[in-house]
Amino acid sequence: MLDLTTVNATAADERQVFDRAPAELLVIGGIASVQTGAAFATKLFVHLGPAGTVLLRIAFAAIILVAIWRPAVRSYSRYQLQLATLFGLSLGFMNLSFYEALDHIHLGIAVTIEFVGPLAVALAGMRRRLDLVWALFAATGVVLLGGVSGANAEGVLFALLAGVLWAAYILINARVGRSFTGGGGLALAMAIGTIPLIPIGLADAGSALFTPKYLAIGLGVALLSSVIPYSLELEALRRLRPGVFGVLMSIEPAMAALAGFVVLGQDLTALDVVAIALVVVASAGAALGARASAPPPVDA
């Protein structure tokens, strides 16, 4: 029988770890995890298609998160349930659009185009002139890293759609972090996001979806691409403005290029290195600005 005391103690320990870690470090850790998972996910496309792959990823992530957090659905308000539904739909279709883009264009290019979403959030949330400098640095690095010249048009459209949904994810995620305690809201949203993907994923993958080997790989992708990064980002957004979070996400194209190099053997050019330097500087500047402008703690 499951020892609930042990589970609660473990959750409390995890909360202490999250509280001690800088919010900026949580974001960067989430980025590294999700891009590594994306690189491994592309290896499943030939067997399951992008929709079948994303169904495994989201479904496994939902199962894991629900088992950990056990969201008490009946205790949530109507507003919380609506928020979780919007969050889940944005999660599900953002990932479906992104995987469809990966089926047509290079990982680095897809992530670069998708980045228009968080970059728009960053620009919309600017409060200081220095923040605009970091955003311009990030935008320059993104353009250099993965120019879309000659890219497949269908892939570009899917990546742009993923970017729009990514922007929605950032804004809704911030509200989920404030409206739910722990990861209950994320777990419920992930379960909701799985539902519309079921018919699409089954149509794409067919019976291959239930092959033990692919199920095992799908579980690994779910951990790397959903459970770990979304949990880290949810905690980070409890302490970061959405605009600052959007600028920090400028590391995403650089991480995608690095994951492509390590996992898929894609070489980095000198221009890629310059672009990576620009986005790293932008992210570091945003992190320093966020720390400098953070409100002082309130005494209990």
Confidence of residue 113 (pLDDT cuts 50, 70, 90): confident
Q: Which residue has the tokens 């089954």?
A: 202
pLDDT at 288 over 70: no
Rounded to an integer, what distance in angstroms lies between the CA atom of residue 115 and that of residue 153? 17
Measured distance between the N- and C-terminal CA atoms of the chain, rounded to whole angstroms? 39
pLDDT at 285 over 80: no
pTM of the complete model: 0.79
What digits encode the pLDDT tens for the residues 27-67?
Answer: 889 999 999 999 999 989 999 999 999 999 999 999 998 99
What digits encode the pLDDT tens for the residues 11-37?
Answer: 455 555 556 778 888 888 999 999 999
What digits encode the pLDDT tens for the residues 120-134?
Answer: 777 676 667 777 888
Burial class (CB in 10 A: 0-12, 13-18, 19+), 63: middle
